[in-house]
Amino acid sequence: MPRLETAASDSAAYGGGMRGEDLFRFDGIERDFGFQAATADNLAALTTDQIDHFNAAGYLSPLPGLETDEVTQLRQYFDWLIQEVVSADDRRNSYSINQYHQVCGPLWELIHTPLLVDYVSDILGPELVCWSTHLFCKLPEDGMEVPLHQDANYWPFSPTKSLTVWLAIDDVDESNAAMRFVPGSHLKGDLAHTELPLDGSVVLNRRVLHHEDYDNVILNELRAGEVSIHTDLLLHGSPPNLSERRRCGIALRYLAAEVKVASGAESWAHSAVHVRDGDPSKLWPNRPRPARDEPHKMAGFVGGFDGNP
């Protein structure tokens, strides 16, 4: 069982192990599945020590993100958006708000927040794409776990040169199911994962094999408005929120514009938005800001990312 000053969950794993390269096919290229260290050149927001820490540990936390008035305004918007989604007569739940920057202007604008883009540019360089936004809203007494996993095991990209900026909308601590990181796990390459049944107990349907062996777990506590950053190869997850407090945060997923999409997975690029210097090679589309908020247009977009079978 992992150690975290207190114990994290140890739900049983199911099935055999799978690696990221088993899931998608890259025509004509070998998938580059390994951590690419950031350099301390032309830094705009991070320090050399922070770059060194990111390279060694695979994450940075906590970092300043939004000012108090900014996150208050954003929280009010999410209060409305979450209610719109969970009260609709369809299969969506509080984890289903995935890629809604395509239909919600404030999420598209959040992608371009100057300080957040500076962080990402300091790590990945100025040619950037944000391909995904995903709200992880653990409602009070929510029984859903996010199993310990590498993002890159899901994502059909090469090289593995992407990261997540996780912005806390609510205060996040141990009592309301803050994320757990395994420092240094991003240096272990492509770790085998096992399939999990979508039975209402998990949000995502894969867990790293032998998850109980990863006992050096760091709690990612954040105040509302603060952010953490983690590489796509870092093992991370979160337990169920058994408290009476909501735990809401949004994952903004950026990658270097040089990254390619696997053959057969081109749909993963459809939601891309260019950031900073964008994509000179034109590998990625560039979605414009939506003219109006229309979350109902995403009613049919459900799947393993929100625990739906």
pLDDT of residue 11: 24
Sign for the CA dihedral angle at 118, 259, 233, 166 comes to positive
pLDDT of residue 18: 66
> Which strand (E) or helix (H) includes residue 77?
helix 68-86
pLDDT of residue 6: 23
All structural domains of the chain, each given as residue ranges with its CATH number in brackets, are 53-301 (2.60.120.620)
pTM of this prediction? Answer: 0.92
Q: Alpha-carbon distance 180 to 203, whole Å? A: 15
Q: Alpha-carbon distance 54 to 56, whole Å? A: 6
Tell me the chain's radius of gyration from C-alpha atoms: 18
pLDDT digits (tens, 9 = 90+) for 76-90: 999 999 999 999 999
pLDDT digits (tens, 9 = 90+) for 42-76: 999 999 999 999 999 999 999 999 999 999 999 99
Q: Alpha-carbon distance 192 to 109, whole Å? A: 36
Q: What's phi and psi for 174, nearest 5 deg? A: -60, -35
Q: Give the pair of three-digit tokens for residue 152.
A: 């890159």
Is the pLDDT at 97 greater than 80? The verdict is yes
pLDDT digits (tens, 9 = 90+) for 147-172: 999 999 999 999 999 999 999 999 99
